[in-house]
Amino acid sequence: EPEVTQTPSHQVTQMGQEVILRCVPISNHLYFYWYRQILGQKVEFLVSFYNNEISEKSEIFDDQFSVERPDGSNFTLKIRSTKLEDSAMYFCASSGEFNYGYTFGSGTRLTVV
């Protein structure tokens, strides 16, 4: 069964450092997303991406965040200057053109120290 792959599974970084979280969505999917989940809290929408551009972003997704689809297969989330409160599980997801049901990756656990 097709799956969404995320790397790394766990990343520890120092406050103020840049991190790049990587995702390989399902190959024939057209919609791509990043969500995050702080321990004990709801899953939160960060950004959606369609047709090579951001289609919607949340208030969380400020100037410190950016997304790219550099080569037609990978989908990355960059956080330029990490803060302690960025510590969370970050999930990448993708969905097909006619199906609203997303497929999620296993997530990257980001720890900012």
106 lies in the site for other proteins, by CB under 8 A: yes
CB of 104 to other proteins, least distance (A): 4
107 lies in the site for other proteins, by CB under 8 A: yes
Nearer to other proteins, 4 or 112 (CB): 4
Q: Which residue among 21, 31, 36, 110 contacts other proteins (CB under 8 A)? A: 31
Nearer to other proteins, 17 or 111 (CB): 111
Distance CA 38, CA 100 (A): 24
> Which residues in this chain contact other proteins in the complex, by CB under 8 A?
4, 6, 31, 33, 35, 41-45, 48, 50, 55-56, 89, 91, 93, 95, 99-107, 109
